[in-house]
Each structure stands twice: as C-alpha cells, then as structure tokens.
Structure 1
Amino acid sequence: MRLRHPDGQTVHLAYGTNVHPAEDLDGIVAQLGTYATPMRERLGTDLLGLGLWLSAGVAAELAADGTARRRLRRELDARGLEVVTLNGFPYGAFHAPVVKRAVYFPDWADPARLRYTLDLARILVDLMPDDAARGSISTLPLGWREPWDGPQSARVGQALDALAQGLARLEALTGRAVRVAFEPEPGCVIENTLQATVHLARVDRRRLGVCVDLAHLACQWEDPVAAVQRLARAGLAVVKVQVSAALEVADPAGAREVVTRYAEPRFLHQTRTAGCRHSYDDLDEALASAEAGGEPWRVHYHVPLHAEPEPPLRSTTPVLRAGLGVLVGGPVAACDHLEVETYTWGVLPAERRPQSPRELAHGMAAELAWTRDTLHDLGLKE
C-alpha cells in the first residue's frame, strides 16, 4: 500500500508475514493466496505491501536461483502485491512450539547471520518494484545481552563492515540500493535508542541504520519524540518502522487474572515496570515477582492495533500514534518503510484468537485499515 507524504515522498505500508509459519517457497506462495489477496480485496486497494519473512533455508535457495526469484516476483505481481522490505530478524523456526531466546540466534557475531542478511538483500533487489527508491531489511539488535564480551563485539564490528561492503557491491552490480536496519529490543545488546547510538556509532550510515519498533520503544518507556531526535543527532537513519503496540497493565495486582492469560510458551514477553525500574525477561517472571506488583507494566506482546485488549488491560497505541506523528507527521517524512508486525495472533488468549485463515486475514486487514486511517490523519494520502 502506498501513501503520498506532503513532502512528495512515497511512504510504503506493509504487513509483516512472519505471522505465518511457511518456510519453503511453495508454502510462501500459498500464503499469498490465503491471506494477502483477501486482505488486499477487503481493503479495496490495487496494491498491498508485504514485509516478507523468508527463513534462512529458503533465503539461501532463492539467493542462489534466479529462476526461483523470478517465479516469486511473478506470483507477487499477479496478486497485486509488492515487497520493498524484508523481515530478517527471525532466522528460522519462528513458529516452533517454543521460540523464546532462540530467535536471537545466530547473532551478529556468527557469520551465519551475515550470510543470511546478504542472501536477503540479493533476493530483495529482484523483488522490489522497478520504481522503488530502495529496499530495507530489519534485523536483530546484534544479539541477546548475555553472554556478550569483547571478542564478540570485535566480530560484530567486522561483520557490520562486511555487511556494508556487501550491500555496496550489490548496488554496484544491480543499481538497486538496500539498507539494513537494526531493531532495538528489550533484553538485547541494543535495548533502546541511546544504546543504538553507542553500538552503531561506527557503521556505514548510508547503508546501515535503525528499525524503530514502536512496541519495543514503549516497553523501554522511551518518549518517541526524544528517541527520534536522539537518532537524528547521531546521524543514524530510521530505515524502517515496525508499526506495533505492546500490552500495558496499569494495575498489575488488580489485573493479575487477565494478564496471566497472556503468559504463553512460544514467544518471549519481556516486561518492564514504569521507567524500567524493574526488568523481567518474560511475563511469567514478572508475575512471580513480589516487587513488580506496585507499578504499571509494559509487556513485549504485540497486540492487534485496531482492538483494545480486554479491560483492565490496554495497549500502547498512544505511543504508537506519537511515534508515527514524529516520524511521518511533520513537514518531511523521516522514514518511508512502515510494516505492521503483529506476529502474535496465534498465541493470543483463546477467546481473542482467530479460528480460521479467513478470520486472521480479516483481523490483519483491520489493522492495516486502522494504520492507514491514522496516517491519513497525519496528512498522508493514497
């Protein structure tokens, strides 16, 4: 979905396909027909954007096979779908029964992460529409914070230099530019925008930048305006925005019965009390802690954007709106790649979980419609 910013830029809005479990080309093509086409039709738009997730296995196959890349591009074109951004955070098995910390491996100290990301870049230059200004890939914020030592940091520095060089060679070969965006997340080496300015201080600013996930920003209790201004002062581009909302619990003691239904075994749900005075690596740890009960919580649990969770819980959509306001609501758009990334539909409490592919497609379309309306309110037009 494309919108026009008042400054003349095209802002691309997509939905993140890491909500789907397919990890081979046939499965990816099948999910286009099951979900993406019905969503496009329901939204009444001629063109729907995808933030495509490709596991490392299928990425390696596609990067090595131009025929397969052309097939995927034809399948996208035939359905009125376009890809300018890829979600390169999960390496694989993102819908295994238990994911938790495994999603942070391999990290950027492991050469496998560099190979995977450059494979994605090679694929993206063939999937991007001809008139796209550039492509983007979001990736993990270097790695999980523990253990993290000097040798790992040195290997990461070398990997990021090699990444920038690989992207430069790809652009010279194809004429298409791709940027990679590191996504701060609670519990990781880069949790917030301040740490991003430190750990990314020496990177190639033309090709590497930051992905601002608005749910993660909320969980770290960052002010969106201050966060974006901090990145701008450091010269770090906001390459991509994950349009997402976290779970907020104003009174954890009073909401204990309801919030317990969100503690589930697949994904990690980092929990922070107000101002990050107390930090927990998962929701069940916060629920078990006596010291966590007296202050509001924000929980890394991506909730549907268009529907508030059941009271007394709420979502961090006010932070989301403020973030979009500072990023694309001003006279100049600070970012042109937006991706709605609610990957948790399948682990929502049973009464709020879609019961069929049709219900899931309708829910995701409603999220995109909500986001489109929010962007219209900020002055963007289709």
Structure 2
Amino acid sequence: MRLRHPGGRALHLSYCTNVHPAEDLDGIVEQLDTYAVPIRARLGAETLGLGLWLAAPVAAALAADPALLAGFRRELDARELEVVTLNGFPYRSFQDPVVKHAVYHPDWTTPERLAYTLDLANVLAALLPDDAARGSISTLPLAWRDPWDEEMSRLAMSRLDELATGLAAVESATGRVIRVAFEPEPGCVVETTDQAVRALSGVDTDRLGICLDLAHLACAWERPADALRRYAEAGLPIVKVQVSAALESDDPETLREYVEPRFLHQTRNAAGDDADDLDEAFERKLPGPWRVHYHVPLHVAPEAPLATTAPVLREALAELVGGPEPLCDHFDVETYTWGVLPPALRPQTPDQLAAGIADELDFARAEMRDLGVKA
C-alpha cells in the first residue's frame, strides 16, 4: 500500500510472502490469487504491496529470462500488486517441515549467497513500479555465529564488496537503484546494533545498510531510539523495516505450547541469558521474563500473562516516521509463522489466513496513521 509521510515522502507498506510455500513460478502466481488479491480487497486498497520471497531457483530463472520476467511483471500488474522489496534471507525450502539452522545457509562467505542476491537485484529492477524511488532486498546478517573466525569475516567482507559492485552494475544497466539490507537476528554473527555497526563498518552505504526487524530488536532488549541513534552516528542507513512482534512473558510456563519443530525460536531474558531455541530455554530453566523470536500476528493481544512486543513496535514506528522526515520508506509486515501457531490460533483455510494478514496490514496502517502518515 502507498502511504504519504507529512513531509511529502512516499512510504510503502507490504506483507512478506515467505509465509507461503510456493517455490516455482506457477505456484507463486497461484498464491497471488489465493491470498494477495483477497487481501487487497479486504483492505480496500487500490494497490497492494508485496514483500516478495523468491527461492533461489526461481530467482535465477527470472533473472536469466527477460521474457519470463516481463510476463511475471504483467501478472502482478493485472492484479494491482506491486513490489518494491524482496526478502532474500531464506535461500529456499523456507516452509519445509523442519527449517531451523538451514535458513542461514548458504551464508555470506559463499558465492551462492552473492549470486542469489544479485539475481534478486536484477529481478527487482524489472519489477519496480516506474515511480518507485528505489528497491530493497533484506538478507541474513552474514551467518550463524558458530563457526565464525577472522578468515570467514574477511571472506564475507570481500563478498560484500562484490555485492556493492554488482548493485552498481544493475543500476548502470537499468537505471534503478537497488539496496541490500542486512537483518540483525538473535544467534547470528550480527545480533545487536553494536555488532552491526562493527561488522558493516566501511561498506558502501549508498547500496548497503540495515533491515530493522522490530521483533529481533525487541528480543535483543534494545530500545528503538538508542538503536536508531547508533545507526545514524555510524552512517548506516535503515534501508528496510520488518514490522514484526515477538512473544513475551513474565511466566515462561505459559510459552510451552509455542514449542514447535519448524523454526528456531531464540529466547532471551532481560538479564542477558540466552538460548538458541525455546525448548532449550525450558531445559536450561532460564529465569524470566523471556522474549522469544517467534513472529506473532501484530493485531492479536494474547491472554495474560502472555504478551507481545507490540509496545516496542510502536516505539520504533514513532522514531521511524514520527519526525519531520521518515528514517525509512519500506515497511514489510513479516509474520511467517502463521502455520506453526498453536492449533487454536492457527488459520485452517486460505480465507482465514488472508483475513489474518489483512488484519495485520490494517493494524500497521492504523499505527502509522496515528503518527500523521496519510493513507
């Protein structure tokens, strides 16, 4: 959806399609009709923004075939759907029965990760609306933290130099600016704001920057104002914001029904204790309160003592769009965990999932409206 900041700048609000499992072009087009078109209708939106996820094979196929890519653009246009941002974090198989640590591979030490991201950049340059200022691609924060050493760090930095050169080539060939945003996440080489600043020192900040995931920020127990000030001081742009909320509870026992086998749910407490998954946090008896990397529907307030980090989301949005100029213009609602919610909360039909995503987008739009943004 297109929004307008009081300062005049266009803001883009979308939902991330990594919640859907399709990994071939026919399946992706089918999911547009199953989910995106009904979501747009429910919101009464003239155009619906998609934070599109393309698995590596389909990204490579589109990047290699201009006719195929043009046809896909026509499919989007025919449904009044637009794409200014891609999620390039999962490489493939993101909705498999078990994902866990596989989502971090290949990492930024590998040529595969570089090739995938540049394929996405070429695809996005062709999909961008003609009047969009720029495109963005979110990606993993270099790698999972273990193993990691100086040689791997050196190799990753070399890949980022190649990435910036490749993005410059895309701009030269197409006239479109594509930026890549590294997404700090619990358990990774880059988890905190300070780690991001250290790791990305010296990169090409015209083309590379930060994807600020608001659930991840909350799980690090960081305050949005402090994080954004630190990024500004370091000269690292906020290229993209993932509008997300994590689980929180003063009574960890209430979180047991959220243990599930597909995704990692890194758990942190206010004292700095950590576990790499929710079941591990129970085994180690981490003292509460806990914040859990479990993206939950934005608009749903769970029954106490369960809570979400929606207050952190609100604080962050106030910092990001509440000033005279916005600090970012790409906002993507990324709740990929609808299919692993406890059974009583889980959508049972495509219509129910479409309704839930529409409610999340409506929630995010309303929060931004309260800050003076015009829909």
Matches of residues 335-346 of structure 1 in structure 2 within 5 Å? 335-346=328-339
Match of 2:263 among 264, 267, 276: 267
Task: Determine the C-alpha separation between the residues in 2 that align with 1:77 and 1:127.
Answer: 9
Task: Determine the C-alpha separation between the residues in 2 that align with 1:237 and 1:328.
Answer: 14
Matches of residues 81-100 of structure 1 in structure 2 within 5 Å? 81-100=81-100
The answer as to whether partners of 1:329 and 1:379 remain within 8 angstroms in 2 is yes
Task: Determine the C-alpha separation between the residues in 2 that align with 1:192 and 1:173.
Answer: 35
Task: Determine the C-alpha separation between the residues in 2 that align with 1:89 and 1:309.
Answer: 28
Task: Determine the C-alpha separation between the residues in 2 that align with 1:348 and 1:16.
Answer: 17
Task: Determine the C-alpha separation between the residues in 1 that align with 2:220 and 2:135.
Answer: 28
Aligned partner of 2:310 in structure 1 is 317
1:136 aligns with 2:132: no
The answer as to whether partners of 1:327 and 1:335 remain within 8 angstroms in 2 is yes
TM-score w.r.t. the length of structure 2 is 0.99
Match of 1:373 among 363, 366, 373: 366
1:308 aligns with 2:304: no
Aligned partner of 2:147 in structure 1 is 147
Aligned partner of 1:165 in structure 2 is 165
Aligned partner of 1:156 in structure 2 is 156
Aligned partner of 2:353 in structure 1 is 360
Aligned partner of 2:210 in structure 1 is 210
Task: Determine the C-alpha separation between the residues in 2 that align with 1:305 and 1:104.
Answer: 25
Number of aligned residues = 375
Give the CA deviation at 1:352. 0.2
Give the CA deviation at 1:118. 0.1
Task: Determine the C-alpha separation between the residues in 1 that align with 2:87 and 2:179.
Answer: 12
Give the CA deviation at 1:289. 1.4
One-letter amino acid matched to 1:105:
H
Task: Determine the C-alpha separation between the residues in 2 that align with 1:247 and 1:223.
Answer: 16
Identity value in percent: 64
The answer as to whether partners of 1:245 and 1:316 remain within 8 angstroms in 2 is yes
Matches of residues 271-286 of structure 1 in structure 2 within 5 Å? 271-275=267-271, 277-286=272-281
Task: Render the CA deviation track for 1:176-200: whole Å, top value 9, x for unaligned.
Answer: 0000000000000000111110000
Give the CA deviation at 1:310. 3.2
One-letter amino acid matched to 2:345:
R
Task: Determine the C-alpha separation between the residues in 2 that align with 1:79 and 1:192.
Answer: 39
One-letter amino acid matched to 2:257:
R
Give the CA deviation at 1:70. 0.8
Matches of residues 237-256 of structure 1 in structure 2 within 5 Å? 237-252=237-252, 256=253
The answer as to whether partners of 1:231 and 1:237 remain within 8 angstroms in 2 is yes
Give the CA deviation at 1:308. 1.4
Give the CA deviation at 1:309. 2.2
The answer as to whether partners of 1:270 and 1:300 remain within 8 angstroms in 2 is yes
The answer as to whether partners of 1:86 and 1:120 remain within 8 angstroms in 2 is yes
Give the CA deviation at 1:250. 1.4
Structure 2 unmatched ranges of 5 or more: none
One-letter amino acid matched to 1:198:
R
Structure 1 unmatched ranges of 5 or more: none
1:188 aligns with 2:181: no
Task: Determine the C-alpha separation between the residues in 2 that align with 1:74 and 1:165.
Answer: 29
Aligned partner of 1:123 in structure 2 is 123
- Secondary structure of 2:49's counterpart equals strand
Task: Determine the C-alpha separation between the residues in 2 that align with 1:141 and 1:328.
Answer: 24
The answer as to whether partners of 1:107 and 1:113 remain within 8 angstroms in 2 is yes
Moved over 2 A (4+): none
1:329 aligns with 2:322: yes
Give the CA deviation at 1:312. 1.7
Aligned partner of 2:66 in structure 1 is 66
Aligned partner of 1:9 in structure 2 is 9
CA RMSD of aligned residues (A): 0.7
- Secondary structure of 1:75's counterpart equals helix
